[in-house]
Structure 1
Amino acid sequence: MEMQTHALKPRLTFWQLWNMSFGFFGIQFGLALQNVNTSRIFATLGTSMDDLALVWLAAPVTGLLVQPVIGYLSDNTWHPRWGRRRPFFFLGAVLATTALFLMPNSVAVWMAVAMLWLMDASINISMEPFRAFVGDKLDTSQQTAGFAMQTFLIGCGAVIASLLPILFADVLGVSNVPVNGAVPDSVRYSFYVGGAAFLLAVTWTVFTSTELPPPDLDRFEAQRKHSRNFGVALREIMSGFAHMPKTMVQLAFVQFFSWIALFALWIYTGPGIADNVYNTTDPLSPGYQNAGNWVGVMFAVYNGMSALAAFVLPVLARRTSRKACHAVCLAIGGLSLASVFFIHDKHLLLIPMLGVGVAWASILTMPYAILVAALPPNRMGYYMGLFNFFIVIPQIVSGLVLGWFTKHMFGNHAVLTLVLGGVSMVIAAVLALFVTDRAERAAH
C-alpha cells in the first residue's frame, strides 16, 4: 500500500484540544447510558437471561455496517464552512438524541431492540469521524495527547451518565420501581438528560473547531467525483481488508479479546451483581433494580478512573513503550474483572472497578495512537472505521456464545461470565506485546 507523507501540522493549545474533543463528553452520555441500562431495560421488558446477549446483537451488527461506510464518506467529504468530519458529528448527534428519548419508553422487547439499533447507528455516525479528526488535525507528536484528551472527556461524561439513575432515585426521589412492566422513571429521566447532553456537547465541537482543508483541493475534488460511483465506492471499501497495514492486523487480535471482555462487562455485570450480591434474579424485584443503580456507581468509578489515567498513560508510554503500557493496563483490567466473582459486598466491588478503569483508559487511547502512525492520511476515516470491525466482530461473537456459556456452563450465574471476560482481557495483554509500533521504531 502506498503511504503518503504526514505533513507537519500546527501544534494546538490545551483548549483547542479540549474543544475538538468535547463532543466525546456528550457521546459518552449515550454510550454509558446504553452500557449501564440496556440489559436492565431488556430484562424489565421480559427478556430471559440466556437471550440477553442475543438481543444486544442489534448494536454490533449496526456498527459492522455503519462504521466503514461513514469513515469512507467522511474521507470524501469537504465543505468550506462545515469541513470534513463535522457534518457527521452533528447528524449523528441529532439522531442519537432522538433514540435516547425513545429507548426508555419502549413498551416491548422488539421496540427496545429497534431503538438500540437506531441509537448505536447514530452514535457511530458521530463517533467514528472523531477518531479520524485527531489524525487530521494533530501532528504525530500530539496524537497520543489528542486521544488521551478524548479518553479524559469520555471518562467524565460516563461518570455523570452512569450515576444519573441513582441520583434521580436516591437524591431527587424519583421512582426506581417498574410499574406495569414499564421502565422505571429514574431510568427514563436519565436518558432524557443524556440526549440533551449529547446534542449540546457535539454542537460545541462543531462550532468551536475548524478543519484543515485537503493539501491538494483540486486533486481531492477529482477523487471525490470518482468515489461517487457506487461500484467504485463499494470496491474501495471492500479492498481495504486486503491492504490493512501489519500493525492494524496485529492490533485486531488485541482488540478482539479486549472487546469480548468489555461486552461481557456491559451485558452481565447487572444480572451478575444482582445474583452474587443482592441474591435475586427477578428483574421486577426492588433488589434487582437497586443492583442496576449500583452497577451505575461501579461504572462511574471505572470511567472516573479512566479519566484520571488518561493523562498518566502518555507519560508511561514515553518511559516504556506504548505497547508495553497497553499490555500492563490490560493485564490489570483482566485480573480486576475476574476478581468480582470473589466479592459479595457492594462497596468492595468498587476496588476492581479501578483496575477496569485503567484498562478502559488504555483501550480508548493506545490502540488508536499506535494505529494512526501506520495509516495513509487520505484514508484515515475509512481505516478508523474498518479498525472498529475488530470491536464489532468480538461483540457479535459474544452475543452468539456468551448466552450459551452463561446458561449451560455457568448455570445462569452471570458473574462467572465476568470471570471469562477477565481471562479474555489477559489474553489481549499478552498479544499486545507483539504489536509493531511504527512511530516508535522510526524514533529509534
Structure 2
Amino acid sequence: MPPGILMPPVQEKRPVHSASPTVDADAWKKKNFWQLFNISVGFLGIQFAWAIQNGQMGPLLERLGSDPQMLGLISCAGPVTGVLVQPIVGALSDRCGLPMGRRRPFLLLGAILTVVALVLMPNVSALWMAAVLLWILDASINITQGPYRSMVPDVVHPSQQASAYSMMSFTIGLGSVAAFVIAAMFPNLQGLFYLGAGAMLVAMIWTSLTTQERPMEIIPADLSAGPPDNFIMGTLKSIASMPKEGLKLCLTHSLTWFGLMCLFTFFSVYVPHHIFGTTDPNSALYANGVQLVQICYAILNGVCFLFSMVIGKLCAASSKKAVHSLGLICMAGAFIAMWFIQTPTEAMIAMGLIGIGWATTLSIPFALLSDHLPKGKEGVMMGTFNIFIAAPGVISNLLVGKVVHDYFNDNVAVALIIGGIAMILSVIMLQTVKERKTSTEPHPHPEDAYLAS
C-alpha cells in the first residue's frame, strides 16, 4: 500500500492511545549494555539468514545452470525488494498503533515469512524455482529489516544511538561468524538452511519480548495529511524532504553498496574460479573453493564483530566520518587486491580488511543519518535511505554481471575491481558530509531530545 493513505487526513496532532508518563520515561531512559544487546539480538538472526544466502546461493545457482550474467540478474532480488518493500513497510510502521508497538509486529511477520522461505530453498530442483524463492526470501527479510533499524530512534536516547547501531553491527558480525564457521565445518546444504530458519525465529522473538517500545502518543500532521496517492510520488516526496546532509549520505552510501553488491554476488564463485581454477560446480576443487568462501566470510564477519566493539569509542575520540572513511579505504584496497590474489591466505587477509569497512558501513551511516531525521518520519526516512542501498545494488547486478559476461569472458575478478573503484568514489563523497555533534546530556522526554538535536 502506498505511503500516506493509511489514515484519514487530520489537521492536528491527536492521541493514538494513552500511555503512562512513567512507562514512556522508562522506555526512553539510557540503556545499559544488556538492554542494547537485547535490542540488537534480532539482527543476529537476520544476518544468520543473510549469511547462509550469501555463502550458498551462488554455488547453488551455478549448479542449477546459471552464468555470471544470470547470477547477477537473479541476485537483484535483494535490492529490488529493498526498494519496493522497505519504504512501504517503514511508512506502515510509523503509523502502527498496535498495543505491542510500532515496529515489533513487522519484525515478527517478516521473521515468520523468512523461516518458510529458508525451509523450502534447499529442496528446489530447477533454476527458476530457486530464483522465485530467493525473491520471496529477500522480500521477507526486508519486511523485518526496515522497521528494525527505525526502532532505534524510537527507543534509544540520541547520545546512545551510535552505540546502538554499533551493537547491531556487533550482533550482525556474531551471527555471520557463527553461520559461516558452521557452514565450513558442516557443509550440509539442507541442514544449513534449516538452521538459519531456526536462528531467525528465535532471535526475533528474543528482541520482541525483551525490548519495550515507547507507545506512539501522537501522529504528526504531516504524516497523515495531504499524502501522495501512489508509491512513486511518495518515494519522490520522501527524497525531496530529506535534509541536505541526508542526501549526501544517501549518495555516499549508494556508492558503497554498489561496490558491496559486487562482493556479495560474485565472491562465492570468484574463489572457486580464480583461486582454485575450476568452473565445474560438481568437482572436488569447486567444493574446496566453496568451503574457503565460508572461511573467508567468517573472517570478514569476525573482524566486523571485533571492530564493532570499538567503533563507539573511536567515533567519540575522532568523528563518525573519520572512522567510516577508514573503513571504506580498507574495503577499496581489498577489492582491488582481488585481481592479484592467488592463494587462500591472501584471500582471507583481504576479507579481513573488508570486515573493518563492513563494520563501519553497518553502523555509522545510520548513526549519521539519525542526526538529521525529522521527528515522526524515522521509518519513512530509513526506508528512503534504503532505496539508496537497494537501487545501486540493482544497477550493480545488472551492469556488472553483463560486463563480466560480455567483455571479460566471465572473469568475475573484474567485478571486484569495479567494486573497488566504487568504494574509492564513496570515500571522496563522504568528505562532503557535515557531521552534527549530538548532545550527551540526557533528555527526560523524546520531544525534548528532538528539539535539542
Q: Normalising to structure 2: TM-score of the pair?
A: 0.87
Aligned to 1:298: 296
Please show how residues 20-419 of structure 1 align to structure 2 within 5 Å: 20-80=39-99, 82-169=100-187, 186-214=188-216, 217=217, 219-220=218-219, 226=224, 231=229, 236-419=234-417
Q: Give the drift of 1:320.
A: 1.7
Contact between 2:227 and 2:234, CA under 8 Å: does it hold in 1? no
Q: Give the drift of 1:400.
A: 1.3
Q: Give the drift of 1:221.
A: 9.5
Identify unmatched segments of 5+ residues in structure 2: 1-12, 14-23, 441-451
Q: Give the drift of 1:270.
A: 2.0
Q: Give the drift of 1:410.
A: 2.6
Alpha-carbon displacement from aligned partner over 1:155-193 (angstroms, at most 9, x marks no partner)? 000111123332214xxxxxxxxxxxxxxxx12210110
Would you say how many aligned residue pairs link Structure 1 and Structure 2?
A: 418
Pair 236,342 (structure 1): closer, same or farther in 2 beyond 3 Å: closer
Identity over aligned residues, as a percent? 35
Aligned to 2:17: none
CA distance in 2, matches of 1:20, 1:293: 32
Identify unmatched segments of 5+ residues in structure 1: 170-185
Aligned to 2:418: 420
Q: Give the drift of 1:246.
A: 0.9
CA distance in 2, matches of 1:235, 1:427: 29
Alpha-carbon displacement from aligned partner over 1:336-374 (angstroms, at most 9, x marks no partner)? 122122221113321111110000000001100000010
The one-letter code of the counterpart of 2:333 is L
Contact between 2:72 and 2:265, CA under 8 Å: does it hold in 1? yes
Pair 346,83 (structure 1): closer, same or farther in 2 beyond 3 Å: same
Q: Secondary structure at the match of 2:276?
A: coil
CA distance in 2, matches of 1:87, 1:256: 29
Q: Give the drift of 1:118.
A: 1.0
CA distance in 1, matches of 2:220, 2:316: 39
Q: Secondary structure at the match of 1:220?
A: coil
Q: Secondary structure at the match of 1:439?
A: coil
Contact between 1:103 and 1:112, CA under 8 Å: does it hold in 2? yes
Q: Give the drift of 1:328.
A: 1.4
CA distance in 2, matches of 1:234, 1:44: 38
Alpha-carbon displacement from aligned partner over 1:110-160 (angstroms, at most 9, x marks no partner)? 111111111111111111111111111111110000001100000000111
Pair 407,230 (structure 1): closer, same or farther in 2 beyond 3 Å: closer
Contact between 2:159 and 2:438, CA under 8 Å: does it hold in 1? no
Q: Which range is displaced more, 283-292 or 11-20?
A: 283-292
Pairwise CA RMSD = 2.4
The one-letter code of the counterpart of 1:115 is L
Contact between 1:257 and 1:425, CA under 8 Å: does it hold in 2? yes
Q: Give the drift of 1:59.
A: 2.1
1:16 equivalent to 2:18? Answer: no
Q: Give the drift of 1:238.
A: 4.3
Contact between 1:410 and 1:417, CA under 8 Å: does it hold in 2? no
The one-letter code of the counterpart of 2:114 is A
CA distance in 2, matches of 1:195, 1:101: 7
Pair 397,233 (structure 1): closer, same or farther in 2 beyond 3 Å: closer
CA distance in 2, matches of 1:417, 1:440: 39
Q: Which range is displaced more, 105-114 or 386-395?
A: 105-114
Contact between 1:72 and 1:237, CA under 8 Å: does it hold in 2? no
CA distance in 1, matches of 2:294, 2:354: 14
Contact between 2:331 and 2:354, CA under 8 Å: does it hold in 1? yes
Pair 64,234 (structure 1): closer, same or farther in 2 beyond 3 Å: closer
Q: Give the drift of 1:377.
A: 2.3
CA distance in 2, matches of 1:16, 1:256: 31
CA distance in 1, matches of 2:98, 2:117: 28
Contact between 1:335 and 1:423, CA under 8 Å: does it hold in 2? no
CA distance in 1, matches of 2:427, 2:439: 20
Q: Give the drift of 1:413.
A: 1.3
Q: Give the drift of 1:235.
A: 5.6
CA distance in 2, matches of 1:101, 1:221: 41
The one-letter code of the counterpart of 2:320 is R
Contact between 2:228 and 2:234, CA under 8 Å: does it hold in 1? no
Aligned to 2:4: none
